[in-house]
Structure 1
């Protein structure tokens, strides 16, 4: 019976470790909030903190601010859903789970473009575009360190991190021994600028995912050793001093037969905003149509990273 007792003790030890890890994680997350919102330069989102960039009979495309949930089951929580209901009460459909048809998702900490379908037909058209690989999404990010290669092709399958302390918090690559079932994930990266963030080496990159896995860009960049500035989770809960996570959905090209969408935002990570603490030293590529096309067509002209 000694082996049985040893096994029970081991399971109990692991369970206790996971609980303590989660409690510590919540405490650090609270500390991160205090640092960014009480001591730092972040201001809480408001009901009007939303920018509509495209509005047609079929779709709304908006720019979501960072640190904001898309929807929630708590009616008192500020979300994109609540902002849309406030702005367009006549478009809220009580028959839907969260009143609006969100065509895709963005993480809580990620800012940028989000598309909402205004009918079943419009939502079906968007789904077909995504399924056929016809949607082009471009993201801007500021990452730690200087990337030596100008362009990278990253193909690393992604799955859930199955460790109890990280479950539903982090994802993992196929090379991680704790990863669950994986799905193919592909990201293309182009260096825009190299410079300094808070006097430390950093790189501004343009990213184009061709798959849409949870935390895909954050995990792929972390795997490269170039974690996104301000990414609390993938810095092992250390990077809490930046006022936000520096990942932004910058451009969306969605060729729906109902309404051809090509929308882009301004670059939020410029040195003109003192909160960014970003000083570019070397510019390799500017945000031009040629740059977007180069990234899209660069299949045979960039360095690869495979699992």
Structure 2
């Protein structure tokens, strides 16, 4: 008797060929079970995609549970290393969007080591941050009478765990919705005023030459609905 699965969350598939499947990962979804998230019982991305496609897939890289956006999955386990090599040699251009506290005045290259949670060893990490839009709201957030935010483009040239979140915190521009490295007063304001509870970090695009077909791929993941809602509230016009 064939098993019947009900997929409660539809995962957007952006690209597929014989070797890979590229998806737009939703917020608050683990890619797979892990020691660090052992208390989370929700279905993982791999489980959701399996129910949707019937494919057993293997992640080529990672995104935090609370980060949304472009994610590459390999169809064969032995092909994972082929695609991972592109990340390890910086042959893939990764672009993220973030909504952060305060006004980011100018493009900045952040070069600051990030600690590996397993080994406790710091490793070199580099992120390019470019401001795109700003907004000042007449909503008080402790200790100020107004609140300021920036939409930024982030391009990491390394792939350390929580790198972007740590780097933006070090710039004193923490990402909105980040309860580990962020500002609880601003996070609470977004929840109370806009009913927004997610981390505002989205992997918006990946660009790379396919190592097997040699075709250039420029993959974009549309932004989640809570982002479009805020863009309309803040009157931000961004070509994504």
TM-score by length of 2: 0.79
Distance 1:78 1:121, change over 3 A: closer
In the alignment, does 2:74 pair up with 1:117?
yes
Structure 1 pair 280–221 and aligned structure 2 pair: CA distance change class (3 A): farther
Matches within 5 A, 1:1-307: 47-72=8-33, 77-89=42-54, 91-92=55-56, 100-149=57-106, 151-160=107-116, 180-196=120-136, 199=139, 200-235=147-182, 239-240=187-188, 241=191, 242-259=196-213, 260=215, 261-268=217-224, 272-273=228-229, 278-280=233-235, 286-287=238-239
Going by fraction, where is helix more abundant, 1 or 2? Answer: 1
Change beyond 3 A, Cα 1:83–1:270: closer
1:257-286 CA-to-partner distances (Å, cap 9, x unmatched) read 224432102244787515x674147x7xx5
Q: Distance in 2 between matches of 1:181 and 1:232?
A: 23
User: Which runs of structure 1 show a deviation greater than 4 angstroms over 4 or more consecutive aligned residues?
Assistant: 73-76, 269-272
- Structure 2 residue runs of 5 or longer lacking an equivalent are 1-6, 140-146
The one-character-per-residue Cα deviations of 1:52-74 (angstroms, maximum 9, x if unpaired) are: 00011111000011111111278
Deviations 1:207-262 (A, max 9, x none): 10000000000000011101101111112655242321100000011322224432
Q: CA deviation at 1:81?
A: 1.2
Contact 2:105-2:131 at 8 Å conserved across structures: no
CA distance, structure 1, for counterparts of residue 46 and residue 181 of structure 2: 27
> Could you say what the CA RMSD is over the residues aligned between the two structures, in angstroms?
2.8
Distance across 1 between alignment mates of 2:61 and 2:33: 15
Question: How far off is 1:131 after superposition?
Answer: 2.2
Which ranges in structure 1 are unaligned for 5 or more consecutive residues? 1-45, 93-99, 162-167, 169-178, 289-307
CA distance in 2: counterparts of 1:83 and 1:106, whole angstroms: 16
SS of match in other structure, 2:80:
helix
What SS is found at the alignment partner of 1:180? coil
Per-residue CA deviations over 1:14-72 (Å, capped at 9, x if unaligned) read xxxxxxxxxxxxxxxxxxxxxxxxxxxxxxxx733310000111110000111111112
